Amino acid sequence: MQNILITGGAGFIGSHLTRLFVTKYPEYNIVNLDALTYAGNLNNLKDIEHAPNYTFVKGDITDIAFVSNLFATHQFTGVLHCAAESHVDRSITDPLAFVRTNVIGTVSLLQAAKEHWKSNMAEKVFYHISTDEVYGSLGNEGFFTEETAYDPRSPYSASKASSDHFVRAYFHTYQLPVKISNCSNNYGPFHFPEKLIPLCIHNIIHKKALPIYGKGENIRDWLFVEDHVKAIDVIFHKGKVGETYNIGGHNEWTNIDLVKELCKQMDQKLGRAVGESEQLITYVKDRAGHDLRYAIDATKLKDELGWLPSLQFEEGISKTIDWYLNNSEWLDNVTSGDYQKYYSSLYGS
């Protein structure tokens, strides 16, 4: 029997993780703690909201008294910490929001775990879900390994790096049983359309400009979100305490090639002329401090725990596009209201 706290379970990755744990482990009690910011959406969890082993709690991870009470009430044995401010562009506009949730929120959870976990430590796990962006930016060669020195370059990645350091500090100083994973770019259903792939899918549907920062030469290593949460499942149950695991897609794309692939597949699916959506590609001002390339070496995870991504990118992206085309109501809901204001403040129209 496990009582597990998932933070940020109403977000993109958190909702896939919550679904996996609620359905795969009916014997676990899963509590999803989420503040429901612009990125949190309970519609992401409609299919499991009435499951007997699932409870949703609305709350803020930075509220230490509230978090501590939650630990007292539910006697958590495990924490899967996903809640975060996650968008680099928003971190450039409002860095303090990232310090608050990503740094203070993480320390507040660590502190509650430290206070409440006094016995049976071998049965406890505090798992921090982090990002490859903490390692900084690669040139054309090389990969991030678990030994790569931290070199965060955006307010978002600096806040995630800081939270990783606090998690390790609680392991070394207080012997809190922690695990960390640093993952590359995810894509898939329920991805909020502020991020490149869902933003372009949305804009292609509506025949709107596809904004490419700079020359479109930046490279990201894309992983289907369901593969990410399967890796988290393996690390949570079998990874070593105190260790870090890199998770990646073995799947590098320049932004421009990726957007052209999206255009090609969507023209076919929407019955449009070959090349029609590519006409929407528009080069815009580059992101400040834009990291050139991320690429993960996930050898440790493969060798120690046997994890490999299961899906080829062309198949994953096809599934993702189909999901957005079949869930236009979800997309319409999240792109109404404040999204329009955000979009025009960043892109001008």
- Note whether 62 and 75 are within 8 A (CB): no
Instruction: Choose between 192 and 253: whose C-beta lies nearer to ligand NAD.
Output: 192
| Non-local CB neighbours of 340 within 8 Å, separated by 6+ positions | none
* CA 12/CA 282 separation, integer angstroms: 27
Site string for ligand DAU, 86-115 (x = CB under 6 A): xxx---------------------------
Shortest distance (Å) from residue 100 CB to ligand DAU: 16
User: Which of ligand DAU, ligand NAD, none does 106 bind, CB closer than 5 to 8 A by kind?
Assistant: none
Site string for ligand DAU, 245-264 (x = CB under 6 A): ----------x---------
Positions of E strands within 82-233: 125-131, 178-183, 185-187, 210-213, 219-224
| Non-local CB neighbours of 283 within 8 Å, separated by 6+ positions | 212, 214, 215, 216
Q: Helix or strand or coil: residue 28?
A: coil
User: Which of ligand NAD, ligand DAU, none does 213 bind, CB closer than 5 to 8 A by kind?
Assistant: ligand DAU
Instruction: Choose between 182 and 277: whose C-beta lies nearer to ligand NAD.
Output: 182
* CA 98/CA 339 separation, integer angstroms: 19
User: Which of ligand DAU, ligand NAD, none does 146 bind, CB closer than 5 to 8 A by kind?
Assistant: none
Give the range of 26-34, 103-111, 115-123, 130-138 binding ligand DAU by CB under 6 A. 130-138
- Note whether 49 and 23 are within 8 A (CB): no
* CA 185/CA 164 separation, integer angstroms: 18
Task: Determine which residue in the list 6, 180, 199, 201 makes contact with ligand DAU, applying CB under 6 A.
Answer: 199
Binding region for ligand NAD (CB under 6 A):
7-8, 10-14, 34-37, 39-40, 60-62, 82-86, 101, 105, 129, 131, 160, 183, 185-186, 192
Shortest distance (Å) from residue 85 CB to ligand NAD: 6
| Non-local CB neighbours of 312 within 8 Å, separated by 6+ positions | none
User: Which of ligand NAD, ligand DAU, none does 16 bind, CB closer than 5 to 8 A by kind?
Assistant: none
Give the number of C-alpha atoms closer than 13 A to the C-alpha of residue 190, restricted to the C-beta side: 22
Q: Helix or strand or coil: residue 315?
A: helix
Q: Is 213 in the site for ligand DAU (CB under 6 A)?
A: yes
Reference 28, options 175, 237, 225; nearest CA is 237
User: Which of ligand NAD, ligand DAU, none does 13 bind, CB closer than 5 to 8 A by kind?
Assistant: ligand NAD
User: Which of ligand DAU, ligand NAD, none does 220 bind, CB closer than 5 to 8 A by kind?
Assistant: ligand DAU
Give the range of 44-52, 194-202, 231-239, 335-343 binding ligand DAU by CB under 6 A. 194-202
Give the number of C-alpha atoms closer than 13 A to the C-alpha of residue 259, restricted to the C-beta side: 28
Task: Determine which residue in the list 7, 137, 148, 218 makes contact with ligand DAU, applying CB under 6 A.
Answer: 218
Shortest distance (Å) from residue 92 CB to ligand DAU: 10
What are 52's strand-pairing partners? none
Shortest distance (Å) from residue 182 CB to ligand DAU: 9
* CA 100/CA 89 separation, integer angstroms: 16
What are 244's strand-pairing partners? 180
- Note whether 80 and 129 are within 8 A (CB): yes
User: Which of ligand DAU, ligand NAD, none does 11 bind, CB closer than 5 to 8 A by kind?
Assistant: ligand NAD
Catalytically annotated residues: 132-133, 156
Q: Helix or strand or coil: residue 108?
A: helix
Instruction: Choose between 14 and 78: whose C-beta lies nearer to ligand DAU.
Output: 14
The number of beta carbons lying within 10 Å of the beta carbon of residue 37 is 17
Instruction: Choose between 224 and 294: whose C-beta lies nearer to ligand DAU.
Output: 294
Q: Is 211 in the site for ligand DAU (CB under 6 A)?
A: yes
Q: Which residues bind to ligand DAU, rule: CB under 6 A?
A: 86-88, 131-133, 184-185, 195-196, 199, 211-213, 218, 220, 255, 287, 294
